[in-house]
Amino acid sequence: MDDSRRQVITGRAVVVRGDDIDTDRIIPARFLKCVTFDGLGEHSFEDDRAQRRARGETHPFDDPARRHATILLVGRNFGCGSSREHAPQALMRWGGGIRAVVGESFAEIFAGNCQALGVPCPTAGGSDLQQIIAACDADASLEVSVDLDAMTLRAGTLSAALGMPEGVRQQLLAGSWDSTGELLSAREEIRRTASQLPYLANWR
């Protein structure tokens, strides 16, 4: 399961400023009618983007220079509101695919939904994070790395300490966040165990 390990995630960043950004803003409810998650990415922040366009402004998710960003930098309590799993699904399908979200704090269910997809949500705070946000806002080409080994966020010469529950971090580092992958990797053992269970004998 080496391909499931999340150790150092490197790429360009996109910044969405503001606190208490809820899941209805990340992906509006009218897009939740889908049977699969395909196509959700293009509707990430749909209403926020439309409001910005109406004011003659450009939302970060409409900025061509940010289109291939893989790291999202946010504020406090990101992903609050309803528990819809469509929010992280939309983010990981937007542009180049968001592979990590770093903010001051996250709604617990949102962070858990991201964890189930292998998208880390470490926290950072203080002036160090704000300096990195400002630097990424000013330079779309700045390379950013989220290092879950060293628990450090880096952008150019700037760095900030990251925080994350240790159990969550270890799952990401080991690749064991992927519960389906874990089950599939043990399918032979599961078959052997199932064959020894009397109440399953007549199901074959």
pLDDT surpassing 70 at residue 201:
no
- Buried b / exposed e over 91-103, threshold 16 CB at 10 Å, is bbbbbeebbbbbb
Domain regions of the chain by residue span:
2-178
- List of E strands, the chain: 8-15, 71-73, 100-102, 143-147, 152-155, 158-161
Question: From residue 7, how far is each of 38, 163, 171, 172, 193 by CA, in Å?
Answer: 27, 14, 10, 7, 33
Q: Which of 18-22, 154-158, 162-166, 180-184 has the lowest mean pLDDT?
A: 180-184
In tens, the pLDDT along 52-86 reads: 999 999 999 999 999 999 999 999 999 999 888 99
Helix (H, G, I), strand (E, B) or coil at 160: strand
Query: Can you tell me the distance from the alpha carbon of 156 to that of 153, in angstroms, rounded to the nearest whole number?
Result: 10
Cβ atoms of residues 100 and 78 within 8 Å: no
Q: What is the pTM of this model?
A: 0.88
Residue with tokens 């950072």: 124
Please give the helix or strand (H or E) that residue 52 lies within, else none: helix 46-54
Predicted local distance difference test score (pLDDT) of residue 1: 39
Compute the mean pLDDT over every residue in the chain, rounded to the nearest whole number. 91
**Which residue, among 123, 127, 111, 132, has the nearest Cα to 177 in the 3D structure?**
111
Q: What is the pLDDT of residues 165-183, one digit of tens each?
A: 999 999 999 988 876 666 6
Q: What is the CATH number of domain 2-178?
A: 3.20.19.10
